[in-house]
Chains A and B, each alone.
Chain A
Amino acid sequence: MAEIKSLPQVEIKNLYGGYDHETVLEDINLTIRENDFIGLIGPNGGGKTTLLKIILGLLPPKKGSVHVMGQPPQRGRQHIGYVPQFAIFDSDFPISVYDVVKMGRLSGKRVFKRLTDKDDDIVEEKLAWIDLLDYKNRGIRELSGGQRQRVYIARALATEPEVLLLDEPTISIDFESRTKIYELLHNINQQGVTILLVSHDLNVISSYVKTIGCLNRNFHYHGKKEITEEMLKAGYNCPVDLIAHGLPHRVLADHQEGR
């Protein structure tokens, strides 16, 4: 596929990041362009969530620069649709599916303003998209894990984002729902939304994403879909043959590939 050099939507240069006394990310460089679909893998504690936090302007970088749509993250993040990690939610919270998706229509600029009919239309449209329009009046606590995750994707889509950022969207979800979510993401990407997907679910993401990167303090990324042995060794510390089995696509590059 010919590479089209479009505008960078997220641009990370020489980024160091982490918390008070520890650096989790070292010298990260990443450019996300329009219509990319990047899968980000890496071990737990490898800095995946930290990187997302920095892109979202929730954590300042220690060094280096981050731009979202050409702006600092705290301004640029209005163009990002964020789907947080599933596990952190209060699954017992009393709220309807509709009201959750409607949160996507809120923003700092609209604090004192009422939501309009147009907002309702957008909410309905996104609910139809994720195939849960019939469930709009249900409480989210009545839904299955997979359904709930789709609701959070709809909420992110309701912000009408340029970039969709997902943090482990399929953790603790059964296989069938996973496939459904990845199909959905594939369609979203086809509609022109850029996607950055964090997951440790390498087997599944490899058949949907366009490119894969490995993050373990350092970032290993060649803008390709193949995972090189070097990436695995450095990034994932995970035996190659474990991953090579039964994949719908061949994601492992030949050993002699010189990168």
Chain B
Amino acid sequence: MAELLSYGFMQNALMAAVLVSLASGVIGTLVVLKRMVFISGGIAHTAYGGVGLAFYFGVNPIFGAVAFSLLASFLMGYVQRKTRQRQDTLIGVMWAIGMAIGIIFADLTPGYKADLMSYLFGSILAVTNADLLLMLAVDILVISLVVLFYKELQATAFDETFARVRNLPVDLLYVILIAMIGLSVVMLMRVVGLIMIIALLTVPAAIGAMYLKNMKHIMWLATGLSLIFTIGGLLISYTYNLTSGATIILVSGVTYLAALVMHRFCRRCPN
């Protein structure tokens, strides 16, 4: 273990696990409570278009991912709020188009493309110092915003109509939330890959929401669970030489199922 920790890549991976867990715990809780799981999946996949484009133009793919992710957030948020019908269809279509753009531009780019795979499936062991800085920045931004607007975010998640009648800035809060989701998605992409982001964003918060009834507590528990899943998955994948992203997701998935079953059979559990 001590030997493991002496590797620079392992130190980075552990730090990434902590930073990513904070975002997934805090934002994941809002995603789950506000029922925005599908839209978050859409944002994650659309972001791949930005990765492909950036790769083609020789820019750091993370910038492409951030740009596309934010663009997708606002577009999908707009669709979700302003159109009456077929929201899920429109979001699904954007989801696929984003992916397609990414793949086509990757095709058009000559040379070796292994790096692109890491955006699809994640590679927590390849997190660089620059990545860590970006993650830290996103964490600071996201957590400050959530602290600042905590009571309003909770009120809109619970009952948006009431919040509107109280003249809370419901639309502004929605824009802020969806932008935070977009940024968190890019962060999580480095660790578990965009295909599996939904799981890390929702599973810890969903388990928390099952057992707790205070949003702050759910955020803390989800952060803790997320940390356990990422580090646990990382160690298992390292030991058995498996893909780290997939292992992390399997660990959280299995825990989720166990929590569901336990909750079902446990009568004295707080509801």
Contact = CB atoms under 8 A, between A and B. Distances in A.
The answer to whether A and B belong to the same complex is yes
Interface of A: 56-58, 74, 77-78, 80, 82, 84, 89-90, 93-96, 99-100, 102-104, 106-109, 111-112, 115, 139, 141-142, 155, 159
B149 interface: yes
18 contacts: A57-B165, A77-B165, A78-B167, A82-B162, A84-B161, A93-B33, A93-B158, A95-B158, A102-B151, A103-B162, A106-B152, A106-B163, A107-B167, A108-B166, A108-B167, A111-B149, A139-B270, A159-B166
Interface stretch (B11-19, B180-188, B211-219): B211-219
A94 B216 CA distance: 11
A159 B162 CA distance: 11
A87 B214 CA distance: 23
A189 B61 CA distance: 63
Interface of B: 33, 35, 148-149, 151-152, 154-155, 158-159, 161-169, 209, 212-215, 218, 270-271
A94 B165 contact: no
Contacts of B214: 94-96, 99
Nearest to B170: A108
A78 B168 CA distance: 10
Contacts of B169: 108, 111
Contacts of B158: 90, 93, 95, 100, 103
A103 B155 contact: yes
A111 B168 contact: yes
A236 B163 CA distance: 33
B215 A94 contact: yes
A106 B165 contact: no
A182 B148 CA distance: 39
B72 to A, nearest CB: 26
A108 B168 contact: yes
Contacts of B159: 84, 89, 103
Given A58-B161, A84-B159, A139-B213, A107 B154 contact: no
Contact of B213 (A77, A94, A115): A94
Contact of B162 (A84, A93, A95, A141): A84
Given A93-B158, A100-B158, A103-B162, A111 B152 contact: yes
Centre residue among A57, A106, A115, A142 by max chain B CB count within 10 A: A106
Contacts of B161: 58, 82, 84
Contact of A107 (B33, B166, B270): B166
A104 to B, nearest CB: 8
Contact of B164 (A58, A95, A99): A58
A142 B167 contact: no
Nearest to A57: B165
Contacts of B166: 78, 103-104, 106-108, 159
